[in-house]
A and B are shown apart, each in its own frame.
Chain A
Amino acid sequence: MKKYSREWSVAAAFGLLMLSLLIVAPHFFHWQPLLSRVTSQMPAMVVALGVALVIISRQIDISIGAQFSMCAVIAGLVAASGLPLGVAILAAIACGALMGALNGLLVAYLGLPSIVVTLATMVTWQEALRLWQQGRLLNLPEGIQWFGQSQAQGQAIVIGATALLLILLSWLMKNIAVGRAIYAVGSDAEAARLAGINPQRTTFGVFVSMGVLAALAAVMNLVQSPQIQPSCGDGMELKAIAAAVVGGIAIRGGRGTLWGVLPGLLLLANVNPALTHFHQPPYWEKAIQGLVIILAVVADGWNQKKQSKNG
């Protein structure tokens, strides 16, 4: 039987988009703007990696945008108070892990559906942040931008760190018992339990990792500008979930590779810049993203139907 290869078809679609841009609007590929565009898309990529883990374990997390904002503000405040950047990063990670742990606790140990739990925590964090910060822009101290390096070095660090995370997580998911446990729990929690895996602990761990990845993404976003908005993560959840689903992570859990998330994210993230370069109005972005999500899920459904007929 032909191997399921969504990753390649998405990569092909992305290649097609780039090719048509190359013909119609070659200035899309000017090095400096291209580099900063790619760098600005890396935080979403890290969040999408986390959400891919969550979806593989057959859960969902829509509070990640709020987690992202919260971690960014915490890191920003710590940095602004004069403490070194390392402390700020640690604070963000701790904050993300705590928020992830709350989701994990409610989902894994109380058995509540993740969609409603994370819907509730999303609103709680989002509104708490608004109440606390009142939408103020947060100015960051000098040494924060690009980790205190030059812009080129900073961009290299952000892109390199994302690539490292992608390689590391892909390898872990494929070769380490914990990674295989996540797939097992996602495809059949009861069978996984009978095979000696603790599904509750696995699910809990996945949500905590999600929080940590959201925190890392928030830091990567933080270093790219001299100030941050407390609403910087709004809508991030949709972008990340869409990237994961489009990249071939099966929404019913248990299937998909983290590699696929990269073309999925690049395809979606470049809808908006592509619209501008094709001289189309940018307000179609959300509609197109929604359509792409639906198409991806429909393709997924068809594929599954075909497979169950064959098998």
Chain B
Amino acid sequence: MLAKHETVLLAVILVEILLFQNLGRNFLAESNVSNIFRHSVEIGLLALVMTPVILTGGIDLSLGSMMGLCAVVFGLLVKQFDVSPWLAAVAAISLGAFGGMGNAFLITRMNLPPLIVTLGTFSLFRGLAEALTKGSEAYSGFPQGFLNLGNANVLGLPAQLWVFFFITLLVWVLVHRTVWGRSLQAIGFAPQGARYAGISVGRNTGMAYVLAGAIAGLAAVILVARLGEARANIGIGYELLAITAVVLGGTSIFGGSGSISGTLLGYVAIAILNNGLSRITAHQIFDQPVSSVARELSGMLTGLLLLLALAAGVLLKSLAIRRARRQSLITTTNPTPST
């Protein structure tokens, strides 16, 4: 059974689909539906791995910058050192995991707040990417076999969607069917309590950041395959979209509760919003070229959506607490006949 929050999200997605089908052209055409996911799968990947991080009560702002760094290193390896793209992809993913390990070390060993640590690495990773490309260089001209990962169809679906399905399954199993995933919820709920229950808080929390870094590396490779170009500015702002998807999906920003299915729905809602807005013809909103307006409008709406989701989450929670309190009041004022 779907939890209540996810039912609401499904309804939101349905409304979006109906709205855009009526406003835009060919919104539900098969080519556009696969386009929606082809163009946003990286955000989905980041959202999936952001979920365990937020479950522990942490946050990772460095994932977008990590994508930039991994993309640049990938391009550098393939173009300057003639490494095969697939080997370079493995290197990019390892680099991501390594960067995640850096975050994990500072957060769990040095006991520093995740927010400020990843704010620092947010700047550091992007800065390294810019330094490696001297600020402006881009790498392109990758072999066609590799570009197919971003542009071809496999069994009727975009190739990268299969990767996404696999990672979804992997993260779902990790979060919902392993001791590790269970321990994350305990840590987010009460770190001290989790420690007393014999959970290794540091190691389990750290693994969430390592996983996040590795998948950010993978997302970078997929994005490079779609764009056909590796630049330092790849993935700017993606961490925000990922956090929005996670929070929309009902995962508590304070940690301790949340689900991968919710994150998936949150991601789909954002992906449809972005795509749908870009298909509404220009003069329906402004007398301006559609491409420029749509991107900013959807960015603004994503920000507003996140604020609304956050506020709704808190208000619903306080309502539930009030209801629970009233119920307990009723049971205490009407005690059952004592034996």
Contact B247 A116 (CB under 8 A): yes
Residue of B nearest to A62 (CB): B119
Determine which of B130, B253, B296 lies in contact with A130 in the assembled complex, contact meaning CB atoms within 8 Å.
Answer: B296
**Assembly CA distance A120 to B293 (angstroms):** 19
**Assembly CA distance A128 to B299 (angstroms):** 8
Which of B25-33, B149-157, B194-202, B307-315 has 4 or more CB atoms under 8 Å from chain A?
Answer: B307-315
Determine which of B128, B243, B299 lies in contact with A127 in the assembled complex, contact meaning CB atoms within 8 Å.
Answer: B299
Q: Which residues of B contact A281 (CB under 8 A)?
A: 131, 134-135
**Assembly CA distance A126 to B300 (angstroms):** 8
**Assembly CA distance A145 to B151 (angstroms):** 52
With an 8 A cutoff between CB atoms, is B228 at the interface?
no
- Which B residues from 8 to 59 make CB contacts under 8 A with A? 59
**Assembly CA distance A119 to B242 (angstroms):** 12
With an 8 A cutoff between CB atoms, is A201 at the interface?
no
A286-B127, A290-B121 known; A297-B303 Cβ under 8 A: no
Q: Which residues of B contact A60 (CB under 8 A)?
A: 115-116
Residue of B nearest to A66 (CB): B303
Interface string of A88-123 (1 = CB under 8 A from B): 000000000000000000100011110111011111
Q: Which residues of A contact B292 (CB under 8 A)?
A: 134
With an 8 A cutoff between CB atoms, is B288 at the interface?
yes
Q: Which of A130, A282, A290 gathers most chain B CB within 10 Å?
A: A290
Residue of B nearest to A60 (CB): B115
Determine which of B130, B288, B306 lies in contact with A119 in the assembled complex, contact meaning CB atoms within 8 Å.
Answer: B306
Tell me the smallest distance from the CB of B313 to a CB of chain A, in Å: 9
With an 8 A cutoff between CB atoms, is A47 at the interface?
no
Contact A127 B296 (CB under 8 A): yes
Q: Which residues of B contact A62 (CB under 8 A)?
A: 119
The interface size bin for chain A is: 35 or more
With an 8 A cutoff between CB atoms, is B163 at the interface?
no
Interface string of B232-243 (1 = CB under 8 A from A): 000001001001
With an 8 A cutoff between CB atoms, is A131 at the interface?
yes
Tell me the smallest distance from the CB of B51 to a CB of chain A, in Å: 15
Residue of B nearest to A116 (CB): B253
Contact B106 A294 (CB under 8 A): yes
Q: Which residues of A contact B143 (CB under 8 A)?
A: none
Q: Which residues of B contact A120 (CB under 8 A)?
A: 244, 303-304, 306-307, 310
**Assembly CA distance A111 to B321 (angstroms):** 15
Interface string of B111-147 (1 = CB under 8 A from A): 1110111011111111110110011000000000000
Contact A123 B311 (CB under 8 A): no
Residue of A nearest to B237 (CB): A123
Number of interface residues of B (CB under 8 A): 46
Q: Which residues of B contact A128 (CB under 8 A)?
A: 296, 300
Interface string of A280-311 (1 = CB under 8 A from B): 01111111111101100110111001000000
With an 8 A cutoff between CB atoms, is A245 at the interface?
yes
**Assembly CA distance A106 to B121 (angstroms):** 27
Q: Which residues of A contact B165 (CB under 8 A)?
A: none
Q: Which of A117, A245, A287, A291 gathers most chain B CB within 10 Å?
A: A287
**Assembly CA distance A252 to B110 (angstroms):** 14
Contact A284 B131 (CB under 8 A): yes
Residue of B nearest to A235 (CB): B123
Contact B303 A122 (CB under 8 A): yes
A134-B288, A245-B116, A290-B120 known; A112-B314 Cβ under 8 A: yes
- Which A residues from 226 to 255 make CB contacts under 8 A with B? 238, 241-242, 245, 251-252
Tell me the smallest distance from the CB of B148 to a CB of chain A, in Å: 33
Q: Which residues of B contact A117 (CB under 8 A)?
A: 307, 310
Contact A297 B300 (CB under 8 A): no
Tell me the smallest distance from the CB of B47 to a CB of chain A, in Å: 14
Interchain Cβ contacts under 8 Å between A and B, 9 examples: A60-B116, A112-B314, A123-B240, A124-B303, A127-B300, A238-B119, A284-B131, A287-B127, A290-B120
Q: B interface vs A, CB < 8 Å?
A: 59, 106, 110-113, 115-117, 119-128, 130-131, 134-135, 237, 240, 243-244, 247, 253-254, 288, 292-293, 296-297, 299-300, 302-304, 306-307, 310-311, 314-315
Per CB-CB distance, the 8 closest pairs between chain A and chain B, nearest first, are: A287-B127, A290-B124, A286-B127, A290-B123, A124-B303, A123-B303, A127-B299, A293-B120
